[in-house]
């Protein structure tokens, strides 16, 4: 059955950010392992590839995620998202504004936006974002934050912004469940998944951690 993108978006629990420089194993093998491990969404997050290589990888990952019934999101680049047939694009605060990206991707693809304050989350709602990333929860080298804003930010944002919210930044097995208890619909990870020697096992462990009650 073909489930609409926005309906699938609401059920995302485990969201993987694929960045080659964070991978212990080759990026393609890492992606295959993460999908086998049960991630609900995979984001291609590469800042330094040529456009042609970025598009090549995006098209390959689109095929892989379709076979795994997972959402596929492209970081920063609404044009690559459209050309690869991705489900959506994810933007940072310094990227294209959400409204401008929407003009490129159209009404059917989802637009996600990273937020770091309650005000940014409220602005994302006004701008028509379909979901938000909230964080950083803890310090993270991947995103360049020396310290995190804690679970309390997740709690405050999720009580105000009525959008699917994915907690991001320094998420681990230890704090993932707390982020969901604070109101996040899912958790997003890069290093804890891509940087694992066995990414499939890491994904399965994370799924188990966020499935536990309490």
Is the pLDDT confidence value at 141 over 70? no
CA–CA distances in Å: residue 11 to residues 112, 161, 164: 15, 17, 9
CA nearest neighbour of 124 among 87, 76, 157, 155: 157
Check residue 211 and give its pLDDT: 87
Whole-Å CA distances, 70 to 24, 31, 86, 92, 106: 22, 12, 11, 22, 21
* Model confidence, pTM: 0.94
> Highest-confidence range of 29-33, 158-162, 208-212, by mean pLDDT?
29-33
Q: Would strands 165-168 and 71-75 be described as parallel, antiparallel, or unpaired?
A: unpaired
Secondary-structure percent of the chain, ordered helix, strand, coil, rounded to 5 = 45, 20, 35
Say how far apart CA 106 and CA 125 lie, in whole Å. Answer: 17
Mean pLDDT calculated for residue range 1-16: 86
What was the pLDDT predicted at 147? 67
pLDDT value at residue 143:
53
How far the first Cα of the chain sits from its last, in Å, is 32
What's the pLDDT score for residue 1?
Answer: 44
Residue 192: pLDDT over 70: yes
What's the confidence (pLDDT) of residue 149? 87
Percent of the chain's residues with pLDDT above 90: 86
pLDDT at 142: 56
Q: What value does the mean pLDDT take over residues 139-160?
A: 80
Distance CA 94, CA 209 (A): 33
Q: What is the DSSP letter of 213?
A: -
In this prediction, residue 134 carries a pLDDT of 97
Q: Which two tokens stand for residue 33?
A: 């392992």
pLDDT tens across 11-61, in order?
A: 999 999 999 999 999 999 999 999 999 999 999 999 999 999 999 999 999
- DSSP letter at 140 equals B
Q: What is the mean pLDDT of the chain?
A: 93
Cα-based distances in Å from 23 to 27, 45, 193: 6, 12, 8
Structure tokens at 41: 């969404």
The three-state secondary structure class of 145 is strand
Mean pLDDT of 154-171: 95
Q: Which residues contact 179 (CB under 8 A, 6 or more apart)?
A: 137, 151, 154, 167, 171, 187
160 half-sphere exposure, CB direction, 13 A CA radius: 18
């Amino acid at each position: 059955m073909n489930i609409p993108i926005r309906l699938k978006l609401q059920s995302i629990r485990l969201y993987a950010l694929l960045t080659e420089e964070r991978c212990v194993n080759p990026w393609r093998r890492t992606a295959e392992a993460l999908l086998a491990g049960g991630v609900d969404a995979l984001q291609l997050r590469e800042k330094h590839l040529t456009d042609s290589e970025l598009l090549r990888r995006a098209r390959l990952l689109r095929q892989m995620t379709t076979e795994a019934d997972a959402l596929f999101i492209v970081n920063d680049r609404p044009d690559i998202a459209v050309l690869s047939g991705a489900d959506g694009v994810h933007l940072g605060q310094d990227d294209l504004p959400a409204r401008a990206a929407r003009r490129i991707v159209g009404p059917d693809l989802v637009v996600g936006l990273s937020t770091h304050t309650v005000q940014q989350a409220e602005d994302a709602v006004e701008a028509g974002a379909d979901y938000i990333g909230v964080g950083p929860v803890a310090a993270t080298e991947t995103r360049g934050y020396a310290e995190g804003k804690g679970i309390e930010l997740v709690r405050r944002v999720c009580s105000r912004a009525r959008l699917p919210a994915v907690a991001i930044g320094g998420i681990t097995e230890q704090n993932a469940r707390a982020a969901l208890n604070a109101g996040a619909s899912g958790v997003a990870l890069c290093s804890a998944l891509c940087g694992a020697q066995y990414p499939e096992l890491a994904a399965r462990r994370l799924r188990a951690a966020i499935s536990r009650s309490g």
